[in-house]
Each structure stands twice: as C-alpha cells, then as structure tokens.
Amino acid sequence: MREIVLDTETTGLSPQEGHRIVEIGALELMNHMPTGKTWHQYINPRRPMPAEAFAVHGLGDDFLRDKPVFAHIAEAFIDFIGDARLVIHNASFDMAFINAELGWLQRPVIPFDRAIDTLEIARRRFPGSPASLDALCRRFGIDNSARTLHGALLDSEILAEVYLELIGGRQPDFGLAPGQGQEGAKTSASPTGWRPGPRPRPLPPRLSADEAAAHAALVETMGEGALWKKFT
C-alpha cells in the first residue's frame, strides 16, 4: 500500500483571499514504512509575503523570487503523488490550497477522500488533548528539535513518524503487543521484555490412551534408530 505524507507552506490562511503555496514537501511510505523517496519544491507565489507568514516559515520574497511558479512544477508533483493516499496534518487546509492551485491551472482537483487527516485521528484517540504536531511529538517522544521554523519536508518527515505512532507504531500489530491495549493501560513488562510465567497446573493431555498406544506401536515398527525414541 503506497501513501504519501505531505505538508505545504503558504503565504496565508486561505486561497480564497489570494494566498498561494510557497513550499511542498512529501515523502513516500510503502506498507507504512518510509522508502526514502521524497519530493520537495519551493514555489514563487508571485505575491508579497506577509510578515505573519514569514514569521512561521521564514520564506521571504528575496528567497522565493527565482523559484518556479506552481504551473511549472504541477506535473512533477502530480507524478510523484500518483494515486496514493495523502497523509496530512489538518488535511482541509493543505487540500484547499493544493486544489485551488490545480483549479487555477484548469487541472483536475484531488478528491478529499484521498486524504488521511492525522489531526482528526489524534483528536479521536486523545479527546481533549492538544493535537498539534509539536504536541504529538512530545506525546510519542519524537525528536523535533530541528523544527525551529515550519518547513514542508522536515514537517513531512516528522509527520510520518507521528502517523506511524498513531496507527500503532512502525510495525502495526492490531493492538496485540504487550502494553498496547487501551490507551494509558499499564503493563508489568520488565526492561528486558515481557515473558509468560509457568502455569500453576499443567494442562491435561489431549491424547487418549488408545491414541498413545497406537503411536507407540507405530514407533516400534521404525526400528531402534527411530527419532521418536529419543523423546520417549
């Protein structure tokens, strides 16, 4: 199963107000594991960068002036994401901008049901708790010390780790692993890992007397070198 973890940076909060995408970062997951394939692009928005947005991501007019416009990178972006599901934190925000940019180019928009919104997953799992990317990093012990400013590719890499924790870890196990039952459940696992103790009473044999006798008779026909005789 192929998924693309994706993040954007923009000039503002709404494409309806004329704001544009200035950065896209994406990475590929295959069966919930990163493949190492990424896609990253800065984009010239052809409009001034508001101070409020610059304070978030640090991408200013001088830096973006020689970058390609969205029309010039749209094909490469669509080729990279293909038909994969898109893992996005606060998907309604990023999808609105991506589809606005595609719409302005008269290109088909991306159906919203292709998006997996990690913000919604986090709110369902931890109702009433902070669900920002930074808050989830703290919850799961993910190092985000490099995130002094928002950056689309770095945020995608961090989000991939958060997403894998939200769905059960790097190797999803349907909640059957020790200590991964209900949220907040305690486990008696030691630092070396959980081990089952001995049964108070051994289970009774399920082999009947007749079956045991028939097996013994069969072993006798195999001669003195029969492997079974090493266990009897």
175 is written with which tokens?
């909640």
Query: Confidence class of residue 139 from pLDDT cuts 50, 70 and 90?
Result: very high
Do residues 175 and 183 lie in contact, with contact meaning Cβ atoms separated by under 8 Å?
Answer: no
224 is written with which tokens?
């003195």
Residues 6+ apart with CB under 8 A from 53: 9, 10, 11, 12, 59
- Residue 40 known to be catalytic: no
Closest to 91 measured CA to CA, from 207, 7, 201, 187: 7
| Residue 149: pLDDT over 80 | no
CA-based torsion, 106, 110, 111, 112: positive or negative: negative
Domain 2-166 CATH class label: alpha beta
Tell me the whole-structure pTM to 2 decimals.
Answer: 0.71
Check residues 187 and 28 and name the one with the higher pLDDT.
Answer: 28
Q: What is the pLDDT of residues 196-229, one digit of tens each?
A: 566 566 666 667 788 888 888 887 887 777 776 6
Q: How confident is the model over 25-49, as a mean pLDDT? A: 96
Q: Mean of the per-residue pLDDT values for the chain?
A: 85
Percent of the chain clearing pLDDT 70 (strictly above): 80
Q: What is the pLDDT of residues 9-25, one digit of tens each?
A: 999 999 999 999 999 99
* Dist CA 143 CA 126 (whole Å): 20
Residues 6+ apart with CB under 8 A from 88: 5, 6, 7, 94, 95, 115, 116, 117, 118, 159
3-state SS assignment for residue 22: strand
Q: Exactly one of 57, 89, 150, 215 is catalytic; name it.
A: 150
53 is written with which tokens?
């947005």
Do residues 45 and 20 lie in contact, with contact meaning Cβ atoms separated by under 8 Å?
Answer: yes
3-state SS assignment for residue 195: coil
